[in-house]
């Protein structure tokens, strides 16, 4: 049965367990986003992820439990906690158990808690990659994302810096974050792109064309904020309705929808609570019928 997704008829696919990033890094498709493990001042989400967690032992326990549950893709960034998040990941997981893959990002500066500023100077990008190597305690970064494209610097220069790092053996695979299809294609003319990371969930599907491109090219699509907000939380909404029918929570159902969207989609939900982590991981066991998948796809 075909359903309309992003304006294109695509077959409903049941969740497949493994995706090979760059063709040679196998990961389970439900990863973990470590951003939520950083603290920060103020109630606004724009002011969070500014510092190390107030309770590092608790945060470390979440990361270790994730690996115990089979999570082998952990996502972080040098901007999360201004380096503290990478240090947290290393403190919890080093020596990294095989086959855990750590992805990180460079290309955003944090001059203040509420500021996220793209910085694509090639020398800066290479310096930040060196700092990520040190903080994570590795000789090679499994997957390095350009956190945001800096409009003030030619994309060729930014990708060129990543290509240099890759040629030096300091980066295995290159990724992009929050980009258009045209920007992916521009980067691909310079070097292979192994992964794209962007906002995507059942209620916010602005990146449908990007996923279609990734699916056609064998590129991993890491979906952040995969649980959405608002509509999915309504007790009388379609997500809750489907969740009740399959004996799952709305959050699990939202993740299951992503896992059924296409095998290249790798949701990276984040949480600071082990109970939520365990709930999220249980989404791997949920199967949606084509009718349920289609209902959610057409409603939001």
Question: Pick the catalytic residue: 80, 96, 200, 224?
Answer: 80
Which among 234, 235, 225 is positioned nearest to 255, based on CA atoms?
225
Name the H helices within 218-263: 238-246, 250-261
Strands 25-28, 18-21: pairing kind:
antiparallel
DSSP H helical ranges for the chain: 56-68, 84-93, 122-136, 155-167, 181-188, 208-217, 238-246, 250-261, 274-281, 290-299
Closest Cα partner for 225 from 98, 35, 40? 35
**In the Cβ-directed half-sphere of 57, how many Cα atoms lie within 13 Å?**
0
Has 96 been annotated as catalytic? no
CB 177 within 8 A of CB 196: yes
**Catalytic residue numbers, as ranges:** 80
């Amino acid at each position: 049965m075909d359903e309309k997704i992003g304006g294109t008829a695509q077959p409903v696919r049941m969740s497949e367990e493994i995706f090979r990033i760059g063709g040679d890094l196998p990961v389970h498709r439900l990863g973990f986003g470590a951003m939520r493990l950083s603290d920060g001042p103020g109630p606004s989400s724009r002011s969070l992820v500014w510092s190390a967690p107030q309770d590092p032992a608790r945060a470390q326990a979440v990361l270790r439990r994730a690996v115990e549950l089979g999570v082998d893709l952990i996502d972080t960034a040098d901007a999360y906690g201004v380096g503290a998040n990478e240090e947290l990941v290393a403190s919890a997981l080093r020596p990294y158990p095989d086959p855990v893959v750590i992805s990180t990002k460079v290309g955003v500066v944090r001059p203040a808690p509420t500021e996220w500023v793209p910085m694509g100077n090639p020398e800066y990008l290479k310096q930040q990659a060196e700092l990520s190597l040190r903080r994570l305690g590795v000789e090679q970064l499994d997957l390095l994302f350009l956190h945001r494209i800096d409009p003030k610097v030619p994309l060729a220069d930014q990708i060129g810096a990543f290509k240099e790092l890759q040629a030096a053996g300091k980066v295995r695979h290159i990724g992009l974050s929050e980009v258009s299809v045209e920007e992916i294609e521009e980067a691909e003319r310079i070097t292979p792109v192994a992964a794209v990371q962007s906002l995507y969930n059942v209620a916010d599907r602005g990146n449908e064309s990007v996923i279609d491109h990734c699916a056609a090219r064998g590129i991993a699509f890491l979906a952040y904020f995969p649980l959405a907000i608002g509509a999915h939380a309504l007790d009388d909404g379609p997500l809750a309705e489907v969740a009740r029918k399959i004996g799952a929570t709305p959050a699990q159902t939202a993740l299951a929808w992503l896992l059924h969207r296409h095998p290249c989609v790798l949701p990276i939900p984040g949480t600071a609570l082990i109970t939520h982590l365990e709930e999220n991981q249980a989404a791997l066991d949920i199967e949606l019928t084509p009718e349920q998948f289609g209902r959610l796809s057409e409603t939001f």
